[in-house]
Amino acid sequence: GQGCTHIFTIFGASGDLAKKKIYPTMWALYRDSLIPENTQVFGYARSDLKVEDIRKKCEPYIKLKSGEEETFEKFWAANQYVRGTYDKRTDFEHLNHALTRAEDNKRENNRIFYLALPSSVFMESTKHIRETCMAERGWTRVIIEKPFGYDADSSEKLSKHLSGLFTEEQLYRIDHYLGKEMVQNLMTLRFANNLYTRSWDRDSIASVTITFKEPFGTQGRGGYFDQSGIIRDILQNHLLQILCLAAMEKPASTSPDDIRDEKVKVLKTIPAITIEDCVLGQYVGDPNGKDEDSKLGYKDDDTVPKDSVTPTYAALVLRINNERWEGVPFIMRAGKALNERKAELRIQYRDVPGNIFSKTPSRNELVLRVQPNEAIYCKMMNKSPGMSFTMEESELDLTYRNRYADAKLPEAYERLILDVFVGSQMHFVRTDELREAWRIFTPILHKIEGEKVQPIPYKYGTRGPKEADELAAKNNFVYTG
């Protein structure tokens, strides 16, 4: 409310995420008056910078419309920068003084800390925040970004550390896919439409595919990426969250904990992924590529070791061992440097039993396209219009730009950071969810890394290794064109 003050502090203020996402998000929320007008933003990092320097770094990522200039000035006037290390307690005390000075001691003062930091300084900085920077008259909320560890044990250690410092209500683990319009739409699609509720199970559905494709390589992020690989970067978090929302049972209510309880329950029924259910790839440059980036393979990135076996593509099959889903493969596919940008959920229905037509009807598919060009569409057979009695494939099509031409779909980060101000944890990852996610993925990661499993090379700009199509075909996915 307006009765209190809010300070939003960004640790890692000089970094990539801050300039590309967090500052532009804070600006958008401020411009649209979605956060209290008296919100102040503090940047914190090791470099000797001024607010003007941060502003210059961010400006390429902010598109100003005419008429916004004055508000933009006001936004930067409400910014401060504090220089400090992540390991010295005195630096955090110094930050706390600066925060206290900026607060009104007659009011409630709330503090949000956004940790856009490398994992190496994560433990220390959270400890210092807890010991020196907590709000004294108001709430404190801490936003954290992946990586949340690199396997089950390291993540458990981190979770223990964090729960020793903060309560679950103070912790906001970001998975920005949970802030996307179509991901948030999944609950409505499933639980507000009897048409789908009744056929959402093994009797009707043959397979479920969750896909993420990006048409560019690591683009200088090779150093980070090589520590992580596509499985940790995309599948273990973003795609698994989509799987949870697609597969979970109906929650008792829409309260954040009822929803997260159902996600945890379905995760608990998924056995660890096996190597037989896994295809890995790594991109190589295309000498005839259309731009410089596409001529470079993953290992041509200077920050990547020349003998790296880190996968930039993975197709995995997850199996859900419960009454609703037994026998329905959940196929996940994700890759960098592919032929297009796309994220979608594809539900493929079983063949029509007892076909009476001369032609075999193609399978129905219900597709939720997360990006680009948000849509829900359903592939179906339709009588070809006119005299003939033949049939053809058609679509029930809810493409957003046609149906909701004027709708403004906020950026994922805008929604999620606003949720933190409001105190809604519905779209954030709870500790027990994270634990289950790592349980499912750790054995396969250890096997791949322990045995240095060689990824299959695929050319930049293609669909990825053909072995992934073979894996999908073995798992009830029929290509319907």
* Shortest distance in whole angstroms from residue 464 CB to ligand BG6: 16
- The encoded tokens of residue 137 equal 């008259």
**From 94, 238, 427, 446, active-site residue:** 238
Inter-residue contact 338 to 214 (CB < 8 Å)? yes
Compare residues 128 and 346 and give the one whose CB is closer to ligand BG6: 346
CA distance 102 to 81: 12
Compare residues 264 and 416 and give the one whose CB is closer to ligand BG6: 416
CA distance 441 to 232: 9
> Of the candidates 1, 79, 71, 80, which has an alpha carbon nearest to the alpha carbon of residue 30?
71
Site string for ligand BG6, 117-156 (x = CB under 6 A): ----------------------------------------
The DSSP letter of residue 111 is E
Compare residues 86 and 212 and give the one whose CB is closer to ligand BG6: 212
Please list every residue from 210 through 229 that binds ligand BG6, using CB under 6 A.
214
> Of the candidates 127, 85, 80, which has an alpha carbon nearest to the alpha carbon of residue 99?
80
* Shortest distance in whole angstroms from residue 1 CB to ligand BG6: 31
Inter-residue contact 310 to 229 (CB < 8 Å)? yes
Torsion angle in degrees (nearest 10) through CA of 248, 253, 259, 260 = -120
DSSP letters along 206-229, please? EEEEEEEE-SS--TT-HHHHHHHH
Compare residues 165 and 417 and give the one whose CB is closer to ligand BG6: 417
* Shortest distance in whole angstroms from residue 375 CB to ligand BG6: 16
How many degrees, rounded to 5, is the angle at CA 281 between CA 275 and CA 287?
Answer: 165
The DSSP letter of residue 106 is T
* Shortest distance in whole angstroms from residue 196 CB to ligand BG6: 25
* Shortest distance in whole angstroms from residue 269 CB to ligand BG6: 26
| Residue closest to ligand BG6 when measured from CB atoms | 233
Compare residues 95 and 337 and give the one whose CB is closer to ligand BG6: 337
Q: What's the number of CA atoms in the CB half-sphere (13 Å) around residue 4?
A: 16
CA distance 127 to 347: 44
Inter-residue contact 48 to 15 (CB < 8 Å)? no
* Shortest distance in whole angstroms from residue 383 CB to ligand BG6: 38
User: Is 238 tagged catalytic?
Assistant: yes
Among 91, 233, 374, 433, binds ligand BG6 (CB under 6 A): 233
* Shortest distance in whole angstroms from residue 214 CB to ligand BG6: 6
Site string for ligand BG6, 330-369 (x = CB under 6 A): -------------x--------------------------
Compare residues 43 and 179 and give the one whose CB is closer to ligand BG6: 179
Q: What's phi and psi for 149, nearest 5 deg?
A: 85, 175
Q: Does 103 bind ligand BG6 (CB under 6 A)?
A: no
Inter-residue contact 190 to 266 (CB < 8 Å)? no
Compare residues 322 and 339 and give the one whose CB is closer to ligand BG6: 339
Task: Please name the amino acid found at residue 440.
Answer: I
CA distance 73 to 109: 24
Compare residues 165 and 315 and give the one whose CB is closer to ligand BG6: 315
* Shortest distance in whole angstroms from residue 180 CB to ligand BG6: 7
* Chain CA centroid to CA 42, Å: 25
How many degrees, rounded to 5, is the angle at CA 187 between CA 186 and CA 193?
Answer: 95
Which residues bind to ligand BG6, rule: CB under 6 A? 214, 233, 343
Report the catalytic residues. Answer: 238
